[in-house]
Amino acid sequence: MGLMDKLRGELVDIIEWLDDSRSTLAWRFPRYNNEIKNGAELIVREGQRAVFVYRGQLADSFMPGAYQLTTENLPILGTLQGWKHGFNSPFRSEVYFINTRPVTDLRWGTPQPITVRDPDFGMVQVRANGLCVVSIDEVDIFLREVIGTDSEVQADEISELLRRVISTAFSDMVLETGLGAIDLQGKQVELSGKLREYVQEKVDDEYGLGIDDITMNISLPDEITQAMTRGVAKGVETGGYVRNIGDINAYQQVASADAMQAAAANPGGGGGASDAMGLGLGLAMANQMAGQFGGQMGGQPAAAAPPPLPGAQSFHVDVGGQQAGPYTVPQLQQAAGQGQITGQTLVWSAGMAGWTPAAQVPALQALFAAPPPLPSAQTPPPVPSQPPAPPTPPPSDGDDEG
């Protein structure tokens, strides 16, 4: 190898970045110990910016285009290196290429649920997730705060940083708006723009990043989603009265009562006394919830259910080996009429010696009495009997007495 070939190998005459991936945000040109020669060609492609750094100080930067490196287009670098009358010899400088295209597939999500005060359900924990579109806006800040001395920066290296920033900003935004959980979900589009502003304030001057867009999906607990679907977010209808729910535990009790009533309505769901008393248990659950909800009807407190009449007999019922009740005779009559208890269902009331089939209890026998058969339509009505014939007068003998 001749002397000129060796010198050419130690000088850099073309500076460019050929990587077209969107995952690399910054890349340092591998100059190693080579020097950049006077008049070298710099090629900056669309979506890139080239920055010269000399001894840790940001010098000249170049937008997309092709450049011949001379004193005229390296004024800052010439000042830093003391080129009083220009340079005619190779020089040393680090060259960074910055990817200015937006990164569109950065996913974010709240690592922990955010507690929100809701006017209908009390304290509710919500989560959020979505996509963030980020780009490098301030090259000098990004170079100083993020790149440092790294030879390259990948998008994954800032994704975790942005996730923490977005989660914190989401929590601050929710607390500031004061909206309930349902209102938050109903205003996701509007709040996405507000969240973008919150995040932008935290990353522009600190990291030189720009937040082009943020999408947001707020998810509610399953119990509230079911309540909204069933239309009982504001109240639950029980026995003709509309009662406010107030908290999520109340809704869970309503769901439990509905499930028990549904099981009672399914005669093939297991049979026996357990299915037979499903409706009665559902009514008992509804009465219990009515006392807990403290609901209102027409702005006034709902009246409590009246106690049984004095002297009215009530019965406990065997439900799958567990005692339930007491239930009044009208309640048991309704359950018997719907086939939910049978004459074999064991019952007990005060004064009884022990558990007895319902059909053997005198007070309940009428509930299971079979009606008489209908008269047959083919049987003719009975024919009324004929009246007896009048007595025949005795015959005359012709002898008349004077």
Percent of the chain at pLDDT above 70?
A: 67
Q: List CB contacts of 63: < 8 A, sequence separation 6 or more.
A: 44, 49
Indicate whether 369 pLDDT > 70: yes
Does 282 lie in the same domain as 250? yes
Q: What is the total count of domains within the chain?
A: 3
Instruction: Tell me if 376 is assigned to some domain.
Output: no
Instruction: Tell me if 47 is assigned to some domain.
Output: yes
Does 133 lie in the same domain as 50? no
Does 321 lie in the same domain as 280? yes
Does 244 lie in the same domain as 214? no
For position 197, which CATH number holds?
A: 3.30.479.30
Domain end (from 70, 99, 128): 99
Does 266 lie in the same domain as 193? no
Instruction: Tell me if 390 is assigned to some domain.
Output: no
Does 240 lie in the same domain as 205? no
For residue 192, what pLDDT band results from cuts at 50, 70 and 90?
A: very high
**Mean local confidence (pLDDT), 368-395:** 65
Separation CA 129–CA 338 (nearest Å): 50
Domain end (from 67, 99, 131): 99
**Picking from 8-12, 72-76, 207-211, 297-301, which range would have the lowest pLDDT averaged per residue?**
297-301
Instruction: Tell me if 154 is assigned to some domain.
Output: yes
Instruction: Compute CA 39 distance to the chain's CA centroid, rounded to the nearest angstrom.
Output: 62
Instruction: Tell me if 197 is assigned to some domain.
Output: yes
Separation CA 34–CA 7 (nearest Å): 10
The whole domain housing 129 covers 103-220
Separation CA 328–CA 305 (nearest Å): 14
Does 284 lie in the same domain as 236? yes
Question: Rounded to two decimals, what is the model's pTM?
Answer: 0.53
- Determine the pLDDT at residue 302: 44
Separation CA 314–CA 359 (nearest Å): 15
Does 163 lie in the same domain as 73? no
Indicate whether 268 pLDDT > 90: no
Instruction: Tell me if 116 is assigned to some domain.
Output: yes
Does 280 lie in the same domain as 173? no
Does 109 lie in the same domain as 95? no
- Determine the pLDDT at residue 129: 92
Instruction: Tell me if 400 is assigned to some domain.
Output: no
- Determine the pLDDT at residue 43: 93
Instruction: Tell me if 336 is assigned to some domain.
Output: yes
Does 107 lie in the same domain as 95? no
Domain end (from 196, 220, 244): 220
Does 211 lie in the same domain as 110? yes
**Mean local confidence (pLDDT), 207-211:** 92
**Tens digit of each residue's pLDDT (9 = 90 or more) over 109-126:** 988 888 888 887 788 888
